[in-house]
Amino acid sequence: MQAVVMGAGSWGTTVAKVLVDAGTPTRIWARRPELAEAINTTHENPDYLPGIDLPPALHAVSDVGAALDGADVVVLGVPSQSLRGNLVEWSPHLTDDMTYVSLAKGVETSTVMRMSEVIADVTGAPAQRIAVLSGPNLAKEVAAGQPAATVIGCADEQRAVELQEAFSTNYFRPYTNTDVVGCELGGAVKNVIALACGMAAGVGLGQNTLATIITRGLAETIRLGMAAGADVQTLAGLAGVGDLVATCASPLSRNRTFGYALGEGKTLEEAQAATNGQVAEGVKSCSSVRALAERHGVDMPLTDAVHQVCHDGLTVPDAIAMLLGRSRKPEIR
Protein backbone atom coordinates (compact mmCIF):
# COMPACT_ATOMS: atom_id res chain seq x y z
CA MET A 1 0.00 0.00 0.00
CA GLN A 2 1.48 3.37 -1.06
CA ALA A 3 0.22 6.36 0.93
CA VAL A 4 0.53 10.06 0.31
CA VAL A 5 -0.31 12.80 2.79
CA MET A 6 -1.50 15.95 1.04
CA GLY A 7 -0.60 18.84 3.33
CA ALA A 8 2.53 19.28 5.44
CA GLY A 9 1.03 21.21 8.36
CA SER A 10 1.28 20.00 11.94
CA TRP A 11 -1.20 17.16 11.65
CA GLY A 12 -0.38 16.11 8.08
CA THR A 13 3.30 15.84 8.98
CA THR A 14 2.53 13.93 12.17
CA VAL A 15 0.27 11.48 10.36
CA ALA A 16 2.93 10.94 7.68
CA LYS A 17 5.39 10.08 10.47
CA VAL A 18 2.84 7.66 11.98
CA LEU A 19 2.36 5.94 8.61
CA VAL A 20 6.10 5.49 8.06
CA ASP A 21 6.51 4.26 11.64
CA ALA A 22 3.70 1.79 10.92
CA GLY A 23 5.70 0.41 7.98
CA THR A 24 3.50 1.95 5.29
CA PRO A 25 5.45 3.46 2.37
CA THR A 26 4.50 7.13 2.51
CA ARG A 27 5.35 10.45 0.87
CA ILE A 28 4.14 13.90 1.82
CA TRP A 29 3.09 16.81 -0.36
CA ALA A 30 4.05 20.31 0.78
CA ARG A 31 2.71 23.37 -1.05
CA ARG A 32 6.02 25.19 -0.82
CA PRO A 33 9.08 23.60 -2.49
CA GLU A 34 11.34 25.04 0.22
CA LEU A 35 9.41 23.16 2.92
CA ALA A 36 9.62 19.89 0.93
CA GLU A 37 13.35 20.52 0.55
CA ALA A 38 13.77 21.16 4.30
CA ILE A 39 11.93 17.95 5.18
CA ASN A 40 14.09 15.93 2.78
CA THR A 41 17.41 17.38 3.88
CA THR A 42 16.94 17.97 7.63
CA HIS A 43 14.23 15.33 8.33
CA GLU A 44 12.36 17.95 10.29
CA ASN A 45 9.43 20.23 9.51
CA PRO A 46 10.81 23.53 10.81
CA ASP A 47 7.61 25.49 10.23
CA TYR A 48 5.07 23.21 11.92
CA LEU A 49 6.91 20.62 14.04
CA PRO A 50 10.30 22.05 15.02
CA GLY A 51 12.39 19.69 17.12
CA ILE A 52 10.60 16.53 15.99
CA ASP A 53 12.75 13.98 14.13
CA LEU A 54 10.96 12.72 11.04
CA PRO A 55 11.84 9.29 9.64
CA PRO A 56 14.40 9.56 6.80
CA ALA A 57 12.13 7.22 4.76
CA LEU A 58 9.55 10.01 4.56
CA HIS A 59 10.02 11.74 1.21
CA ALA A 60 8.49 15.16 0.58
CA VAL A 61 7.47 16.56 -2.81
CA SER A 62 5.87 19.81 -3.90
CA ASP A 63 4.68 18.59 -7.30
CA VAL A 64 1.06 17.39 -7.06
CA GLY A 65 1.38 14.87 -9.91
CA ALA A 66 4.48 13.28 -8.39
CA ALA A 67 2.80 13.17 -4.99
CA LEU A 68 -0.34 11.40 -6.21
CA ASP A 69 1.27 9.12 -8.80
CA GLY A 70 0.60 5.48 -7.86
CA ALA A 71 -0.93 6.33 -4.48
CA ASP A 72 -3.46 3.83 -3.08
CA VAL A 73 -4.31 5.90 -0.01
CA VAL A 74 -4.62 9.69 -0.23
CA VAL A 75 -4.60 11.29 3.21
CA LEU A 76 -6.08 14.79 3.12
CA GLY A 77 -4.30 17.10 5.58
CA VAL A 78 -5.50 20.50 4.36
CA PRO A 79 -8.02 22.74 6.16
CA SER A 80 -11.76 22.04 5.78
CA GLN A 81 -12.53 25.24 3.93
CA SER A 82 -9.85 24.67 1.28
CA LEU A 83 -10.43 20.93 0.73
CA ARG A 84 -12.95 21.32 -2.10
CA GLY A 85 -10.73 23.72 -4.06
CA ASN A 86 -7.69 21.51 -3.50
CA LEU A 87 -9.49 18.38 -4.73
CA VAL A 88 -10.76 20.19 -7.82
CA GLU A 89 -7.21 21.35 -8.57
CA TRP A 90 -5.80 17.85 -8.01
CA SER A 91 -8.56 16.02 -9.93
CA PRO A 92 -6.47 15.33 -13.09
CA HIS A 93 -4.24 13.16 -10.87
CA LEU A 94 -6.99 11.38 -8.89
CA THR A 95 -7.86 7.82 -9.99
CA ASP A 96 -10.80 5.48 -9.43
CA ASP A 97 -8.92 3.09 -7.17
CA MET A 98 -7.73 5.61 -4.58
CA THR A 99 -9.00 5.52 -0.99
CA TYR A 100 -9.35 8.94 0.64
CA VAL A 101 -8.73 9.54 4.34
CA SER A 102 -9.89 12.91 5.65
CA LEU A 103 -8.03 14.41 8.61
CA ALA A 104 -9.94 17.70 8.66
CA LYS A 105 -12.30 18.48 11.52
CA GLY A 106 -14.75 20.95 10.10
CA VAL A 107 -17.93 21.52 8.12
CA GLU A 108 -17.81 23.41 4.82
CA THR A 109 -19.31 26.86 5.30
CA SER A 110 -20.60 27.34 1.76
CA THR A 111 -22.52 24.02 1.59
CA VAL A 112 -22.80 22.78 5.21
CA MET A 113 -21.26 19.51 4.00
CA ARG A 114 -19.06 17.24 6.09
CA MET A 115 -15.63 16.48 4.62
CA SER A 116 -16.59 12.98 3.45
CA GLU A 117 -19.49 14.56 1.56
CA VAL A 118 -17.17 17.11 -0.04
CA ILE A 119 -14.81 14.31 -1.12
CA ALA A 120 -17.69 12.31 -2.62
CA ASP A 121 -19.06 15.42 -4.31
CA VAL A 122 -15.78 16.36 -6.02
CA THR A 123 -14.25 12.96 -6.77
CA GLY A 124 -17.39 10.86 -7.25
CA ALA A 125 -15.80 8.19 -5.03
CA PRO A 126 -18.27 5.78 -3.36
CA ALA A 127 -18.54 5.68 0.44
CA GLN A 128 -16.44 2.48 0.45
CA ARG A 129 -13.40 4.52 -0.64
CA ILE A 130 -13.86 7.42 1.77
CA ALA A 131 -12.63 7.29 5.36
CA VAL A 132 -12.01 9.76 8.16
CA LEU A 133 -9.47 9.70 10.96
CA SER A 134 -10.55 11.48 14.12
CA GLY A 135 -9.82 11.30 17.83
CA PRO A 136 -8.00 12.96 20.74
CA ASN A 137 -4.84 13.61 18.74
CA LEU A 138 -2.97 16.81 19.52
CA ALA A 139 -0.26 16.74 16.86
CA LYS A 140 2.71 17.63 19.06
CA GLU A 141 1.97 14.81 21.52
CA VAL A 142 1.49 12.19 18.79
CA ALA A 143 4.59 13.40 16.96
CA ALA A 144 6.57 13.00 20.19
CA GLY A 145 5.46 9.37 20.35
CA GLN A 146 3.13 9.77 23.32
CA PRO A 147 0.51 6.98 23.35
CA ALA A 148 -2.83 7.93 21.82
CA ALA A 149 -5.81 6.24 20.24
CA THR A 150 -7.96 7.38 17.36
CA VAL A 151 -10.87 6.25 15.20
CA ILE A 152 -10.85 5.33 11.52
CA GLY A 153 -14.38 5.78 10.27
CA CYS A 154 -15.42 4.13 7.00
CA ALA A 155 -18.74 2.72 5.81
CA ASP A 156 -16.79 -0.28 4.51
CA GLU A 157 -15.61 -2.14 7.60
CA GLN A 158 -13.02 -4.17 5.69
CA ARG A 159 -11.49 -0.97 4.25
CA ALA A 160 -11.39 0.47 7.78
CA VAL A 161 -9.52 -2.63 9.00
CA GLU A 162 -6.97 -2.29 6.17
CA LEU A 163 -6.42 1.36 7.10
CA GLN A 164 -6.23 0.47 10.78
CA GLU A 165 -3.24 -1.73 9.99
CA ALA A 166 -1.63 0.95 7.83
CA PHE A 167 -1.84 3.52 10.67
CA SER A 168 -1.01 1.26 13.67
CA THR A 169 2.23 1.81 15.60
CA ASN A 170 3.42 1.06 19.12
CA TYR A 171 2.27 4.56 20.17
CA PHE A 172 -0.75 5.16 17.92
CA ARG A 173 -3.76 2.86 18.20
CA PRO A 174 -6.63 3.28 15.71
CA TYR A 175 -10.04 1.73 16.33
CA THR A 176 -12.49 1.16 13.48
CA ASN A 177 -16.03 2.51 13.26
CA THR A 178 -18.56 2.43 10.41
CA ASP A 179 -20.30 5.58 11.75
CA VAL A 180 -18.62 8.22 9.59
CA VAL A 181 -21.22 10.88 10.43
CA GLY A 182 -20.58 10.52 14.17
CA CYS A 183 -16.78 10.63 13.76
CA GLU A 184 -16.97 13.76 11.61
CA LEU A 185 -19.49 15.68 13.70
CA GLY A 186 -17.68 14.80 16.93
CA GLY A 187 -14.47 16.27 15.47
CA ALA A 188 -16.09 19.39 14.02
CA VAL A 189 -18.23 20.37 17.02
CA LYS A 190 -15.50 19.83 19.62
CA ASN A 191 -13.48 22.61 17.97
CA VAL A 192 -16.37 25.02 18.54
CA ILE A 193 -16.76 23.92 22.16
CA ALA A 194 -12.98 24.25 22.68
CA LEU A 195 -13.26 27.87 21.53
CA ALA A 196 -15.94 28.36 24.21
CA CYS A 197 -13.70 26.76 26.86
CA GLY A 198 -10.81 28.98 25.82
CA MET A 199 -13.02 32.07 26.05
CA ALA A 200 -14.14 31.09 29.57
CA ALA A 201 -10.55 30.43 30.68
CA GLY A 202 -9.45 33.69 29.07
CA VAL A 203 -11.85 35.73 31.18
CA GLY A 204 -10.51 33.93 34.27
CA LEU A 205 -13.23 31.35 34.93
CA GLY A 206 -12.38 28.05 36.61
CA GLN A 207 -12.97 24.32 36.38
CA ASN A 208 -16.69 24.31 37.24
CA THR A 209 -17.39 26.54 34.25
CA LEU A 210 -15.13 24.50 31.97
CA ALA A 211 -16.76 21.22 33.03
CA THR A 212 -20.17 22.78 32.43
CA ILE A 213 -19.19 23.88 28.92
CA ILE A 214 -17.68 20.49 28.06
CA THR A 215 -20.75 18.61 29.32
CA ARG A 216 -23.34 20.91 27.77
CA GLY A 217 -21.18 20.97 24.63
CA LEU A 218 -21.45 17.21 24.52
CA ALA A 219 -25.23 17.50 24.94
CA GLU A 220 -25.48 19.71 21.87
CA THR A 221 -23.06 17.49 19.93
CA ILE A 222 -25.30 14.50 20.70
CA ARG A 223 -28.46 16.40 19.72
CA LEU A 224 -26.97 17.37 16.37
CA GLY A 225 -25.35 13.98 15.81
CA MET A 226 -28.53 12.03 16.43
CA ALA A 227 -30.53 14.33 14.17
CA ALA A 228 -27.93 13.81 11.43
CA GLY A 229 -27.94 10.01 11.79
CA ALA A 230 -24.88 9.45 14.02
CA ASP A 231 -24.65 6.68 16.59
CA VAL A 232 -24.64 8.10 20.11
CA GLN A 233 -21.99 5.52 21.08
CA THR A 234 -19.56 7.13 18.62
CA LEU A 235 -20.11 10.46 20.37
CA ALA A 236 -19.45 8.78 23.72
CA GLY A 237 -16.18 7.42 22.27
CA LEU A 238 -12.77 8.68 21.19
CA ALA A 239 -14.02 10.83 18.30
CA GLY A 240 -16.65 12.41 20.58
CA VAL A 241 -15.97 12.75 24.30
CA GLY A 242 -12.31 11.80 23.91
CA ASP A 243 -11.49 14.56 21.48
CA LEU A 244 -13.75 17.04 23.26
CA VAL A 245 -11.89 16.57 26.54
CA ALA A 246 -8.41 16.65 24.98
CA THR A 247 -9.07 19.78 22.96
CA CYS A 248 -10.99 21.69 25.63
CA ALA A 249 -8.35 20.94 28.28
CA SER A 250 -5.08 21.38 26.39
CA PRO A 251 -3.13 24.60 25.94
CA LEU A 252 -1.74 22.92 22.79
CA SER A 253 -5.15 23.25 21.11
CA ARG A 254 -5.27 26.06 18.55
CA ASN A 255 -9.05 26.38 19.03
CA ARG A 256 -8.76 26.70 22.80
CA THR A 257 -5.84 29.13 22.40
CA PHE A 258 -7.83 31.22 19.92
CA GLY A 259 -10.81 31.34 22.30
CA TYR A 260 -8.52 32.21 25.23
CA ALA A 261 -7.20 35.23 23.35
CA LEU A 262 -10.75 36.41 22.63
CA GLY A 263 -11.61 35.90 26.32
CA GLU A 264 -8.66 38.11 27.22
CA GLY A 265 -10.24 40.81 25.06
CA LYS A 266 -7.97 40.42 22.03
CA THR A 267 -9.28 41.00 18.50
CA LEU A 268 -9.80 38.25 15.93
CA GLU A 269 -6.54 39.27 14.25
CA GLU A 270 -4.67 39.11 17.56
CA ALA A 271 -6.24 35.72 18.32
CA GLN A 272 -5.11 34.49 14.90
CA ALA A 273 -1.57 35.59 15.73
CA ALA A 274 -1.78 33.68 19.04
CA THR A 275 -2.18 30.44 17.08
CA ASN A 276 0.91 31.20 14.94
CA GLY A 277 -1.19 31.32 11.78
CA GLN A 278 -2.21 27.67 12.16
CA VAL A 279 -5.79 26.73 11.42
CA ALA A 280 -8.37 26.97 14.25
CA GLU A 281 -11.18 25.18 12.42
CA GLY A 282 -13.92 26.12 14.89
CA VAL A 283 -13.76 29.81 13.97
CA LYS A 284 -15.34 29.05 10.60
CA SER A 285 -17.11 25.84 11.51
CA CYS A 286 -19.09 27.53 14.30
CA SER A 287 -21.10 29.13 11.47
CA SER A 288 -21.56 25.94 9.42
CA VAL A 289 -22.33 23.81 12.48
CA ARG A 290 -24.90 26.40 13.53
CA ALA A 291 -26.42 26.33 10.03
CA LEU A 292 -26.49 22.52 10.12
CA ALA A 293 -28.25 22.66 13.49
CA GLU A 294 -30.84 25.05 12.08
CA ARG A 295 -31.39 22.70 9.16
CA HIS A 296 -32.06 19.84 11.58
CA GLY A 297 -34.11 21.98 13.98
CA VAL A 298 -31.60 21.40 16.78
CA ASP A 299 -30.84 23.84 19.60
CA MET A 300 -27.07 24.55 20.01
CA PRO A 301 -26.76 27.55 22.34
CA LEU A 302 -23.00 27.29 22.95
CA THR A 303 -22.31 27.03 19.22
CA ASP A 304 -24.59 29.99 18.61
CA ALA A 305 -22.78 32.04 21.28
CA VAL A 306 -19.35 31.17 19.82
CA HIS A 307 -20.59 32.18 16.38
CA GLN A 308 -21.83 35.52 17.73
CA VAL A 309 -18.50 36.23 19.47
CA CYS A 310 -16.44 35.29 16.42
CA HIS A 311 -18.59 36.91 13.75
CA ASP A 312 -21.18 39.29 15.23
CA GLY A 313 -19.11 41.32 17.68
CA LEU A 314 -20.67 39.88 20.87
CA THR A 315 -18.28 40.18 23.82
CA VAL A 316 -17.40 37.11 25.88
CA PRO A 317 -18.97 38.55 29.09
CA ASP A 318 -22.17 39.29 27.14
CA ALA A 319 -22.13 35.76 25.67
CA ILE A 320 -21.90 34.32 29.19
CA ALA A 321 -24.80 36.51 30.36
CA MET A 322 -26.82 35.47 27.31
CA LEU A 323 -26.24 31.76 27.98
CA LEU A 324 -27.11 32.03 31.68
CA GLY A 325 -30.20 34.13 30.91
CA ARG A 326 -31.85 31.41 28.81
CA SER A 327 -35.09 29.78 29.97
CA ARG A 328 -34.76 27.01 32.57
CA LYS A 329 -35.11 23.43 31.33
CA PRO A 330 -34.56 19.79 32.29
CA GLU A 331 -31.07 18.40 31.75
CA ILE A 332 -32.25 15.56 29.55
CA ARG A 333 -34.85 16.17 26.85
Ligand X SMILES: O=P(O)(O)OC[C@H](O)CO
Tell me if 48 is assigned to a ligand binding site: yes
For position 210 contacting ligand NAD by CB under 6 A, the verdict is: no
Instruction: Give the residue among 178, 181, 177, 248 at the shortest CA–CA distance from 211.
Output: 248
Tell me if 72 is assigned to a ligand binding site: no
Q: Which listed option, ligand NAD, ligand X, none, makes contact with residue 247 (CB within 5 to 8 Å by class)? A: ligand X
Q: Which listed option, ligand NAD, ligand X, none, makes contact with residue 243 (CB within 5 to 8 Å by class)? A: ligand X
Q: In what order do the strands lie in the sheet with 73-76?
A: 59-61, 26-29, 3-6, 73-76, 99-102, 130-134, 148-154, 172-177
The mark string for 247-286 relative to ligand NAD (x by CB under 6 A, - otherwise) is: -------------------------------xx-x-----
For position 105 contacting ligand X by CB under 6 A, the verdict is: yes
Q: Judge contact between 41 and 54, C-beta under 8 A.
A: no
Residue 117 CB, nearest approach to ligand X (Å): 19
Distances (CA, A) of 80 to 74, 136, 224: 15, 18, 19
Instruction: Give the residue among 194, 185, 215 at the shortest CA–CA distance from 258.
Output: 194
Give Cβ neighbours of residue 66 (< 8 Å, ≥ 6 apart): none
For position 284 contacting ligand X by CB under 6 A, the verdict is: no
Give Cβ neighbours of residue 249 (< 8 Å, ≥ 6 apart): 197, 210, 256
Q: Which listed option, ligand NAD, ligand X, none, makes contact with residue 194 (CB within 5 to 8 Å by class)? A: ligand X
Binding site for ligand NAD (CB under 6 A): 7-12, 31, 48, 77-80, 82, 86, 103-106, 137-139, 278-279, 281
Binding site for ligand X (CB under 6 A): 105, 136-138, 191, 194, 243, 246-247, 253-255, 281
Annotation: binding site for NAD(+): 7-12, 139, 254
Annotation: binding site for substrate: 105, 254-255
